[in-house]
Structure 1
């Protein structure tokens, strides 16, 4: 089975660029991979995070879909516990009406930022994540034209096509919910490097067909750094190594450092161990090696779609990376 490639973009602020640049680069990247033959372009939701500009992916979906022609455009994902299923359904019914057959509704359960984000988005209350499965169930009903909460309302505009729902998760618990409710499932390897194929197995084994999805569809999202040589790939990966390390240390980072800056860092033995551990979240190497690693990852997880999250600097290098992969996989 042919391995399909998609893109997960977080609108990262690269060194020497500002927030407006990051958003413009998201649009430029989407247009680039649209022409290369990638299947999907998803945008993440992060709040109060200085180094990531994508706080409202549903708005970016509209902007990206307007400037692309072929690629499916969606969220990876809307953090559902912060919102009402009805409002999310309406938003994506509008997007589906504007770009029929090209919209994906990706959802997640994580807070998506610092702890205070939970309170700021929920009027000073902490969201009840235990009701997440019920929220997803109501969202599905609203999307397909139902009124699950008994208020006798419809999520408008209604139309002939319905955006599929995909759940982005980093645990087996999310996989079970996705399977039982009949949504798609994307395992976030770029978040949980200790992820195990058992999560995907749990999704497949628990899948019940729904009105949105008759057959299960699973994928894996992972950081990728590709270079002309292994040495060059390691050089460019030093930026992501440093960024992930500082995040784990609780340091505020205003941008993703250039490899020239990051490669000069000296790490103690504990930091070196943390960097090695974070490499479980990444695929790094030359084109041939990365292709083999991605194929192996797909085989291990029993999926036929990999979502690539490539954060390297400068921006032109990001574009080149996606081009290299498209050629290697003959998209």
Structure 2
């Protein structure tokens, strides 16, 4: 069996409203809150996202981050899938160098067995953590990501075995299941590998925008059709904050700005409430770095966001967009995704 991916091509799309939109949830832990509350908010958002018509709901693997609750990514995927009915749920992504491929095959084989036809396996080759945490995860020096193609081959082999020998290692559950595999990246490495393997590609333009256009061009030009995918399929990450006015959206977005600032100052923390004035917090250089990172972002009223997203789509011709929204107040985050779904891109209510 093959992990055939039933998706359309953006070349058939004539407008932004025709492409799928999905959600990347970093499960933010806010100041004075807990991981338990963060995970409850994640499920609540996923249930609303399903109702509002989003295509997939992905969670990311990060470790040792005080503001992110999705470190045990497979467990959170199961929690979300168990609390929803139709929306696809997956990883954006699992950092494969942190794990034995057999373990991931078994985990996602279990998820697919429990929630058939709804699980996505997005894979990255970054550690998702600092060096000390990576060492603790891997119990050794581990991988620098260069053996990612070999790990990918091993993982796919568990789902689609080459041999029926009773002596070889098997993933049960996992073996024979159709679990869509996506490669995630922020450079040309995964773009090239996705093209060679005929797999869908997701680019992390929501935090690493510089190489987006070059990576998309590389992926599309070098794509080789496969049993999985007949034509290239590229999804891009976009930071989006929607509110009733441009001013309110920009204010909500200061929570993400503060989070970015804490990361570049090497003091990661929980997601902070919005502020009225970032200029009293950061330097001109730090502000310029944040604005550069926000190259593929849409912040504002529905009209402002609609125009910005359309500009991004016209530039990239992405087959799908996956939206990240680091908003402090959960009700404001829900409101942002609801406005995006119904007033910006016109998703159909389920």
Give TM class, smaller chain.
over 0.9
CA RMSD of aligned residues (A): 2.1
Unpaired stretches in structure 2, ≥5 consecutive residues: 1-12
User: Residues 95-114 of structure 1 correspond to what in structure 2 (within 5 A)?
Assistant: 95-114=111-130
Corresponding residue SS for 2:146: helix
Corresponding residue SS for 1:232: helix
Q: TM-score, normalised by structure 1?
A: 0.93
Structure 2 equivalent of residue 198 of structure 1:
214
Using the alignment, how far apart are the partners of 2:250 and 2:138 within structure 1? 41
Query: Is 2:309 the partner of 1:294?
Result: yes
Ranges of 4+ aligned residues in structure 1 off by more than 3 Å: 145-151, 158-161, 260-266
Structure 2 equivalent of residue 124 of structure 1:
140
Structure 2 equivalent of residue 66 of structure 1:
82
Identify if the C-alpha distance between structure 1 residues 148 and 167 changes in structure 2 by more than 3 Å, giving closer, same or farther. farther
How far 1:264 sits from its partner (Å)?
7.7
* Residue correspondences, number: 330
Query: Is 2:23 the partner of 1:4?
Result: no
Using the alignment, how far apart are the partners of 1:159 and 1:250 within structure 2? 42
Structure 1 equivalent of residue 318 of structure 2:
303
User: Residues 30-179 of structure 1 correspond to what in structure 2 (within 5 A)?
Assistant: 30-146=46-162, 152-157=168-173, 161-179=177-195
Structure 2 equivalent of residue 267 of structure 1:
282
Unpaired stretches in structure 1, ≥5 consecutive residues: none
Corresponding residue SS for 2:241: strand
| Structure possessing the higher relative contact order (Cα contacts under 8 Å, 6 or more residues apart) | 2
Using the alignment, how far apart are the partners of 1:88 and 1:203 within structure 2? 25
Q: 252, 258, 274: which is aligned to 2:273?
A: 258
Query: Is 2:329 the partner of 1:314?
Result: yes
Q: TM-score, normalised by structure 2?
A: 0.88
Corresponding residue SS for 1:74: strand
